[in-house]
């Protein structure tokens, strides 16, 4: 098969298309002939040498795919050869074939293409577990998502809106803010010209928000605490502007705040399988009805993975970038 390898950790030019053997599915896995693979921020970090795959995972980049099941590993009875699925994987997605745990495979939602379906797993698994499970977002609460025009952001806006929350999002241009509003955000803040803490306080009449999903970290941490209401929750899923902070804990105590966070990739197949079942029951009907949808900004052939990474690093995109494989 053809797949993308990292010659030496570094910039997008480190990505090279090579030939090699296709993987063999292990116990509980299926082999997927990949039609499309999503591009995500952790792929950038892995290419740079800062985010190695978990033990036992494929060293090939790519954590979400869509395609057709080509072979079944021992013990798989939930799927059959020829099924079209999308899947969350710990690695191996930038390739013509990829092995995936059967428990982490979901059917292609009716009405979506394989390219659209490849944009679902990483973002929808991440948003569901962090916003609705760890963050405990409830109908009527106010939710702030940073980076509202990203793949995670556009997904979080839509799902929070559909489940009855008031949504605030921030983004870096007026065009991106307009997209956030079109997806269901009640308020979109241009973080380059506006102070999100002040805008949140004005929108909520001084109360603050109940939940924040943050990918920025660094200088945003203290500002997030200031923007939260009493009993508010902050869920940290990345730290694009730094992992280390100095913070005054007074607000945390006085407001009785909860700060949590998670990573998805190292979690067990059983844990990810449980998330998949929740998504199939609670979210797939919304996708099939058209109430939520993945936003595809641009696709690139597998051989042009370097261009896809350069686009992601530019932050010009709105929604998802996808590699087309076969």
Domain boundary among 222, 245, 261: 261
DSSP, res 150: B
Count of helix runs (H) and strand runs (E) in the chain:
11, 15
Domain shared by 67 and 166, yes or no: no
- State which residues form the domain around 199: 124-261
C-alpha to C-alpha distance for 95 and 223, rounded to whole angstroms = 41
Domain shared by 137 and 254, yes or no: yes
Domain shared by 135 and 238, yes or no: yes
Among 200, 38, 30, 184, smallest CA distance to 115 is for 38
pTM of the model: 0.96
Domain boundary among 217, 232, 261: 261
- Where helices occur in 207-317 by DSSP H, the ranges are 220-227, 250-254, 269-282, 284-289, 305-314
Domain shared by 128 and 216, yes or no: yes
Q: How crowded is residue 119: how many other Cβ atoms within 10 Å of its Cβ?
A: 32
User: Residue 278 sits in a domain of what CATH number?
Assistant: 3.90.180.10
Domain shared by 302 and 242, yes or no: no
What pLDDT sits at residue 240? 83
Q: Which two tokens stand for residue 29?
A: 């896995």
Domain shared by 169 and 233, yes or no: yes
Domain shared by 226 and 272, yes or no: no
User: Residue 239 sits in a domain of what CATH number?
Assistant: 3.40.50.720
C-alpha to C-alpha distance for 203 and 195, rounded to whole angstroms = 12
Instruction: Measure CA of the first residue to CA of the last residue in the chain; give whole Å.
Output: 11
What pLDDT sits at residue 326? 76
C-alpha to C-alpha distance for 53 and 68, rounded to whole angstroms = 24
Pairing relation of β-strands 15-19 and 296-301? unpaired
Domain shared by 83 and 138, yes or no: no
Domain shared by 206 and 285, yes or no: no
Domain shared by 256 and 277, yes or no: no
Domain shared by 231 and 273, yes or no: no
Domain count, the chain: 2
Write out the chain's pLDDT in tens, 326 residues. Answer: 999 999 999 999 999 999 999 999 999 999 999 999 999 999 999 999 999 999 999 999 999 999 999 999 999 999 999 999 999 999 999 999 999 999 999 999 999 999 999 999 999 999 999 999 999 999 999 999 999 999 999 999 999 999 999 999 999 999 999 999 999 999 999 999 999 999 999 999 999 999 999 999 999 999 999 999 999 999 999 998 888 988 889 999 999 999 999 999 999 999 999 999 999 999 999 999 999 999 999 999 999 999 999 999 999 999 999 999 97
Domain shared by 128 and 257, yes or no: yes
Burial class (CB in 10 A: 0-12, 13-18, 19+), 276: buried
């Amino acid at each position: 098969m053809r797949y993308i390898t990292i010659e030496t950790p570094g910039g997008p030019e480190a990505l090279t298309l090579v030939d090699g053997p296709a993987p063999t599915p292990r116990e509980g896995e299926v082999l997927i002939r990949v039609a499309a693979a999503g591009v995500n921020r952790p792929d950038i970090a892995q290419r740079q040498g800062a985010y190695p795959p978990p033990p036992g995972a494929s060293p090939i980049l790519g954590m979400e795919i869509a395609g057709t099941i080509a072979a079944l590993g021992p013990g798989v009875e939930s799927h059959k050869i020829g099924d079209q699925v999308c899947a969350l994987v710990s690695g191996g997605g930038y390739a013509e074939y990829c092995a995936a745990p059967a428990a982490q495979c979901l059917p292609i939602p009716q009405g979506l293409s394989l390219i659209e379906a490849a944009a679902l797993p990483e973002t929808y698994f991440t948003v569901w577990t962090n916003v609705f499970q760890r963050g405990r977002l409830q109908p009527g609460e106010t939710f702030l998502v940073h980076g509202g025009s990203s793949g995670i952001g556009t997904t979080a806006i839509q799902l929070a809106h559909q489940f009855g929350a008031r949504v605030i999002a921030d983004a870096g241009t007026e065009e991106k803010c307009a997209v956030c509003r079109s997806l269901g955000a009640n308020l979109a803040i241009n973080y380059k010209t506006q102070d999100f803490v002040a805008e949140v306080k004005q929108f909520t009449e001084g109360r603050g928000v109940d939940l924040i999903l943050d990918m920025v970290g660094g200088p945003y941490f203290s500002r997030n605490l200031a923007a939260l209401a009493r009993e508010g929750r902050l869920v940290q899923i990345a730290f694009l502007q730094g992992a280390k902070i100095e913070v005054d804990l007074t607000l945390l105590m006085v407001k009785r705040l909860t700060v949590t966070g998670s990573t998805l990739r190292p979690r067990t197949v059983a844990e990810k399988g449980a998330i998949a079942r929740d998504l199939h029951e609670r979210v797939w009907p919304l996708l099939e009805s058209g109430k939520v949808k993945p936003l595809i900004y641009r696709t690139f052939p597998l051989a042009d993975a370097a261009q896809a990474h350069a686009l992601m690093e530019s932050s010009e995109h709105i929604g998802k970038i996808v590699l087309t494989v076969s």
